[in-house]
Amino acid sequence: MSKVPTVRLDKLLTNLGYGSRREMHIAGRHGRIAMDGAPLADIEQRVPLSPETAARLTFDGEPLDPLPGMALMLNKPVGVTCSHKDVGPLVYSLLPERWRRREPAVSAVGRLDKDTSGLLLLTDDGAFLHQVISPRRHIPKRYLATLARPLRGDEGAIFASGELMLDSEDKPLLPAFLDVLSDTEAALTLTEGRYHQVRRMFAAVGNHVTALHRESVGGLKLPDDLAPGAFRVLDAQERAAVLAV
């Protein structure tokens, strides 16, 4: 059986963004850090880095933030950018302010354009991030596209051919699968993630995407009850579903 790693409590809290080590010591002295409801005097003690420990700890009476190694799903609204640096509203501003100081940092798993909505995964777990974005895994991503012009009828075959070449690229796209939903609406499933891929694919067949929404990543679907801008932590089953292809 693998042993659960331990971490010093002051370090854990600092890495979760609650404040500097010094601030954590002061918080401890003021009784703001508690285990099973009882203030903890010794915040230099090592605690197991496990969900069970986290469930017993509170800061200012509130449950502790998710431990490092977490993954989230967020319903990305249109108009926010998946970047740490750009100007304008960023997806990270939809997360609690404290989370911006987390170490390791929380990052988007791949990107959605500013004008694309829907399922965005975020994680501080480098191994999970690499598994999801690895080109070798071919994790399918399903997008709903609304189009400016009616579909011609040949798009499905062109996208599935494995021969479509986008402007300024030197390799054809992998086969992608089109589900026609109406004259001007279709779901497109991709197993790679090139720059603005869905928009460029429809442009290559003489159309224009007016709205784009990501519905699923791997076997994980955006739930209907997750409002635009809202997020939640993935449980173990949901994480496994992302990678189940």
Binding site for ligand URA (CB under 6 A): 112-113, 116, 143, 196-199, 212
Number of helices followed by number of strands (H, E) in the chain? 7, 15
How many whole angstroms from its chain centre is CA 34? 30
Q: Closest Cα partner for 217 from 111, 146, 114, 124?
A: 111
Toward ligand URA, which CB reaches closer, 18 or 231? 231
**What does the block give as tokens for 191?**
């197993």
Catalytic residue list contains 113: yes
Q: What CA–CA distance (Å, rounded) separates 32 from 73?
A: 30
Point out which residues pair with 39 in neighbouring strands: 34
Which candidate in 36, 65, 113, 225 is catalytic?
Answer: 113
Toward ligand URA, which CB reaches closer, 166 or 233? 166
154 by DSSP, 3-state: which? coil
Toward ligand URA, which CB reaches closer, 151 or 212? 212
Q: How far is the CB of 58 from ligand URA (least distance, A)?
A: 38
Q: How far is the CB of 113 from ligand URA (least distance, A)?
A: 4
Q: How far is the CB of 89 from ligand URA (least distance, A)?
A: 16
Cβ density class 216-235: b for 16+ within 10 Å, e for less:
bbbebebeeeeeeeebeebe
Q: How far is the CB of 205 from ligand URA (least distance, A)?
A: 14
Toward ligand URA, which CB reaches closer, 83 or 197? 197
Q: What CA–CA distance (Å, rounded) separates 83 from 89?
A: 9
DSSP state of 64: P
Toward ligand URA, which CB reaches closer, 15 or 197? 197
Query: Is residue 201 within 8 Å of 188, Cβ to Cβ?
Result: yes
- Compute the radius of gyration of the chain from its Cα atoms: 22
Q: How far is the CB of 230 from ligand URA (least distance, A)?
A: 19
**Measured between alpha carbons, how far is residue 15 from residues 21, 27, 67, 104, 238 in Å?**
9, 15, 9, 7, 25
Angle between helices 126-133 and 236-243 (to 10 degrees): 30
Instruction: Point out the residues that are catalytic.
Output: 113
